[in-house]
């Protein structure tokens, strides 16, 4: 990251077309990029005369998407100092800037405002406990007044901004709904997963972004339910992590097999009842094969993307650390998502879904409808900005 930040201005000087019109998108990491991606791609289609600059703060975003074909230039954003900001903006001279969700860079934003460049905050969401809304946070709140307009996810965010004198706010929802619908339309068929699922008539439980804290909750249950196929995509894919998980599964009487083994050998052990995904990039397509989906992170730092499962019409189960995620609150309210807080509540929830097919399908339809009803934020934002 340090090296990439130092090279960013040099990269711009080499690649920037001085006669082009640039739209700048900044995402902290990969998650924010996925949130901004439908906006980038829609802008490409509707305004092909504009070029796209995409910047990242985190290596987890840049290293994965540095060759993203939807942008003309991809680089790191140098640290937020006055000198860095002036050099960077002098090199690119953007005509419009989009900061995704939680990005508030003091010097960049003040210089953009001084240069009268329109700056938009996209899919942002605000909470009472953020420093901007504390009695001692007025100095921090000044940076928010550099934005031309906020496109927020909910009414609460609009009200919080209004309370500190910011009224240039529109509730457009979350652009991730557009993204997961795009992913669904372009989803791959996965022959290895299909072979695993279709070789018997057992229901399939799919876990996305699994952490060990999640496994402490759901794995003991399946020692008593051998009739269920399990597919697990761990959040971190490494041989050491997968080997530890395979040992744990065997100790519970499960018979795990790795995805690469099924894919490469074109055969599958008929006794295998658990498939471990040992590569990245498949999860959003794997959910289509679920009867029930579980999304990890809710017993740790925070919930991962539940919309990727919901778009397929699957009931989605997740842990209790979800208060900061609007989609989790909405999914619980509509009946498409279910929170579990311990092994007992997990057993109660999964027993209900496995043993009642009608209830399972109804929950899945509610999840799917929720995604469909909240799509369209990208187009609403572009209609406003252009």
What SS3 string covers 207-241? EEEECHHHHHHHHHHHCCCCCCEEEEEECCCCHHH
* Mean pLDDT calculated for residue range 102-112: 93
Contact 125, 105 (CB under 8 A): no
Residue 85 phi, psi dihedral angles, 5° rounding: -65, -45
According to the model, what pLDDT value does residue 269 have?
Answer: 78
DSSP code, position 349 = H
Residues 6+ apart with CB under 8 A from 151: 120, 121, 122, 123, 124, 170, 172, 377, 380, 381, 384
Digit-coded pLDDT (tens) for 204-226: 999 999 999 999 999 999 999 99
Q: What share of the chain is helix, strand, coil (3-state, %, to 5)?
A: 50, 15, 35
Residues 6+ apart with CB under 8 A from 279: 237, 259, 260
Average confidence score pLDDT of the chain: 93
Place of tokens 């060759």: 67
DSSP code, position 39 = H
According to the model, what pLDDT value does residue 6 have?
Answer: 72
- The Cα–Cα gap between 203 and 196 comes to 11
What crossing angle do the helices spanning 212-222 and 343-355 adopt, rounded to 10°? 50
- For residue 197, pLDDT beyond 90: yes
């Amino acid at each position: 990251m340090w090296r990439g930040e130092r090279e960013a201005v040099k990269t711009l000087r080499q690649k920037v077309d001085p006669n082009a019109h640039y739209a700048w998108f900044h995402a902290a990491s990969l998650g924010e990029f996925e949130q901004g991606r439908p906006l980038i791609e829609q802008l490409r289609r509707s305004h092909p005369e504009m070029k796209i600059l995409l910047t990242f703060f985190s290596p987890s975003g840049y290293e994965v998407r540095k060759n993203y074909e939807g942008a003309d230039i991809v680089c790191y954003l140098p640290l937020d100092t006055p000198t860095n900001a002036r050099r960077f903006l002098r090199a690119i001279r953007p005509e419009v800037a989009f900061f995704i969700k939680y990005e508030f860079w003091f010097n960049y934003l003040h210089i953009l405002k001084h240069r009268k460049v329109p700056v938009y905050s996209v899919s942002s969401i605000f909470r009472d406990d953020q420093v901007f809304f504390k009695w001692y946070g007025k100095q921090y709140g000044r940076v928010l007044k550099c934005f031309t307009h906020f496109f927020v996810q909910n009414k609460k965010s609009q009200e919080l901004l209004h309370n500190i004198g910011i009224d240039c706010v529109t509730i457009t929802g979350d652009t991730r709904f557009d993204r997961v619908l795009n992913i669904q339309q372009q989803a791959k068929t996965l022959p290895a997963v299909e072979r695993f699922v279709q070789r018997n008539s057992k229901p399939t439980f799919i876990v996305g972004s699994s952490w060990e804290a999640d496994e402490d909750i759901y794995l003991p249950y399946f020692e008593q339910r051998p009739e269920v196929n399990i597919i697990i995509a761990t959040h971190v894919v490494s041989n050491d992590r997968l080997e530890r998980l395979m040992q744990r599964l065997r100790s519970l009487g499960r018979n795990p097999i790795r995805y690469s083994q099924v894919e490469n050998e074109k055969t599958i052990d008929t006794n295998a009842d658990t498939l471990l995904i040992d590569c990245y990039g498949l999860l959003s397509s794997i959910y289509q094969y679920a009867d029930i989906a579980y999304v990890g992170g809710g017993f740790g730092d925070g919930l991962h993307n539940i919309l990727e499962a919901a778009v397929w019409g699957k009931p989605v189960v997740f842990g209790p650390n979800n208060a900061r995620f609007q989609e989790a609150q909405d999914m619980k309210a509509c009946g498409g998502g279910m929170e579990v807080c311990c092994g007992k509540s997990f057993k109660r929830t999964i027993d209900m879904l496995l043993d009642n097919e009608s209830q399972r399908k109804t929950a899945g339809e509610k999840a799917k409808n929720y995604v469909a009803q909240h799509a369209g934020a990208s187009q609403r934002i572009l209609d406003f900005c252009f």
